[in-house]
Amino acid sequence: MLLLCDVGNTNIVLGVYKDDEIIAYWRIGTDSKKTADEYGILLRQLFLADNIAARDVKAVVISSVVPPLNPILEEMVRKYLNLKPLVVGPGIKTGMPILFEDPKEVGADRLVNSVAAYQKYGGPCIVIDFGTATTFDAISAKGEYLGGAISPGVVISTESLFQYAAKLPRIELVKPAKVIGKTTVACMQSGIIYGYIGQVEGIVQRMKKELGGKAFVVATGGLAGLFVQETESIDVVDHLLTLEGLKYIYYRNLRGNK
């Protein structure tokens, strides 16, 4: 079995694959203050809940945008699984040319998502990841990573309104019944939700133009479901996209598959 670990700023997504099929999937909070032992005990509890034996895990792949957690998780894997993890970073084979001024600047999660999107859906394609930040990544018809855009995530924007506007309350992130709000809360919800929908549609339209007019659009991330039904700019939501990308990278590096 293969354990895949996607470390984001807010959540860590873990997935276990057996014979190329996912058999367990968890989302836990990211906490750089936790020790390797704390993460190890938590992993054992997750395994126990899904009847997974740690000894059956033969390889681990980690993608992380939280550098302080990398040595902690690597220690956890060595101590609790007796394995050396494959960490996505410089020197790792992805099979995707990176046409970025400095390829090292591309976040591991963005590259992993792009690899998965091209493998699953072909190119040209655009990946939108609704996470702590909202990222847009463009992949060419030839499978080249071209670059993209980064904007503040919807949760960050919502909290900023509460923190920096004295009279605005903290709100629940739900879609209001109408765009024209009749209360302060409804106005804030409308501005956040429909403002983000407009952002998605605008950036996707401009990216498609730069890609030649057409591109398949894939959305992922914990908040993707909040927006997909409100726009026709997104072709599919793939919540396992990052894990799938880690799986493809594992194959390329350790099995020699393309």
Q: In the annotation, is 37 catalytic?
A: no
Q: Out of 20, 31, 109, 137, which one is annotated catalytic?
A: 109
- The residues near 171 (Cβ < 8 Å, ≥ 6 apart) are 158, 161, 162, 185, 188, 189, 192
Facing residues of 229 across strands?
A: none
Q: 51 and 34 in contact (C-beta within 8 Å)?
A: no
**What Rg value do the Cα atoms of the chain yield, rounded?**
19
Report d(CA 16, CA 5) in Å as an integer. Answer: 9
> What CA–CA distance (Å, rounded) separates 60 from 49?
19
The residue type of 58 is K
Catalytic residues: 109
